Structure 1
């Protein structure tokens, strides 16, 4: 099984990035690739998996 990782920075809250993320989600789904999204937690200086 294949998996893709996407690191979502604060820029992912912009409308243009949200549109791009939607396209990426659909492309991965059609291709049968699991997409794991991660978010930067600047306060705790770590990366969190988005569920």
Structure 2
């Protein structure tokens, strides 16, 4: 097998593994919803003039 075909085959296998991993993460991992509270100091909102 010429080196170009071997290189393209290895790139395709790596891309397939990455795609399969992403598909598995989307299928099997469920995100947990939660409330997020961010405190902003009043000095940043009401700047003195």
Which interval holds the TM-score relative to the shorter structure? 0.3 to 0.5
- Rg (Cα) greater in structure: 2
Using CA pairs below 8 Å that are at least 6 residues apart, which structure has the higher relative contact order? 1
- Whichever structure has more strand as a proportion of its residues is 1
- TM-score, normalised by the number of residues in structure 1: 0.37
- TM-score, normalised by the number of residues in structure 2: 0.39
- Whichever structure has more helix as a proportion of its residues is 2
